[in-house]
Amino acid sequence: MDSDPIVEVRGLNHWFGTGEARKLALSNINMTLTRGGFTVLMGPSGSGKTTVLTLVGCLRAVQEGSVRLMGHELNGASAKELTALRQRLGFIFQAHNLHESLTALQNVIMGVQVRPGLPDDLARHAAARALGLVGLSDRLDYLPAKLSGGQKQRVAVARALVGNPALVLADEPTAALDKDSASDVVDLLKRLGARRGTTTLLVTHDNRILDRADRILTLEDGRLVSVKETAAE
């Protein structure tokens, strides 16, 4: 891990609703994610973890404060700029969100095909390689319905990493998995991320995976209440 910042958040405030129903969701958030780091964002439900994830992931407009992603200021960025930046990120969702009509290989191809101009055979090769890295070389042509929960989430990891993103944002990726599968998925994410210099921001309630984190951020009531550096490998 080097000290090159991928994400810099300064004085971030965010509200939901309007008028009297307007509610403060995030208050004065400051944080920096450096290249290759594996950061876990914790906190009770409603503390603002997901809001941070969606703001850093260019899925919501920044209302107040500054979020710089790979050197680009997100406050005031156009929808087109946000979409272009999202193409350089990897997303992993709680429910894996694989496309039911596409095979494992085709789902992973979607992770790299978003970048225009990539030849088909190269996209196919990269996707097959990514599935090999997550141990699913023998499941390339399987539809999601034929895969176990852990295998689906590994396909989702491959899809997130296939385009060599600078930042992977993972939302409760282990919530629906048993202990062994959860451990496998997080180990994969950390190992492959470290190998490629990918920064990971993982939101979780799952205490089983905290020992993998380089850093643990804790949110409560929209405020960042603790930042804990760990000795994880």
Partner 1 sequence: MSRLLQRIFGRLPIGWLQLTHKRGRFAAALAGVAFANVLVFVQLGIMNSMAEATLRPYGFFDADVMISAADANALAEGGNVARQWMLQALADPDVNDGMGLFVGNVPWDRGGTDITLTTFGVDPGRPDFVTHGLTDGLMYLQVQDTVILDRLARGLPHEEAAAIRPQTPLAFETENRTLTAMTTFAGGGAFGGDGYMLVSDQTFLSLFPSRSSAAPDHILLRLRSGADVAATIERLQGLISDHSLRIRSFVDAAVEDLRYQQTQRPTGVIFGFGVLIGVLVGLVIVYQVLSADVADHLREYATFKAMGYRPRFFLGIVIEEALVLGLLGFLPGLIVGTAILTVMGKVTTLPLAMTPGMAVTVLLGTLVFSVISGGIATRRLAAADPADLF
Which chain residues interact with partner 1 by CB under 8 A?
A: 50, 53-54, 57, 59-60, 83-89, 91, 93-94, 97, 99-102, 106, 109-111, 113-114, 120, 171, 203
Sheet arrangement for strand 5-16: 23-34, 5-16, 64-69, 72-73
Q: 110 or 140, CB closer to partner 1?
A: 110
Output the smallest distance, CB 27 to partner 1, in A.
20
Strand partners, 37: none
Strand 215-220, strand 23-34: pairing: unpaired
Q: 109 or 209, CB closer to partner 1?
A: 109
Q: 100 or 180, CB closer to partner 1?
A: 100
Q: 22 or 115, CB closer to partner 1?
A: 115
- Measured CA to CA in angstroms, residue 202 lies from 21, 141, 174, 198 at distances of 30, 29, 10, 12
Output the smallest distance, CB 122 to partner 1, in A.
13
Output the smallest distance, CB 53 to partner 1, in A.
6
- Measured CA to CA in angstroms, residue 97 lies from 116, 165, 167, 199 at distances of 22, 18, 19, 21
Output the smallest distance, CB 138 to partner 1, in A.
21
Output the smallest distance, CB 64 to partner 1, in A.
17
CB 170 within 8 A of CB 153: no
Token pair recorded at residue 18: 């309007």
Q: 1 or 101, CB closer to partner 1?
A: 101
Token pair recorded at residue 185: 């998925």
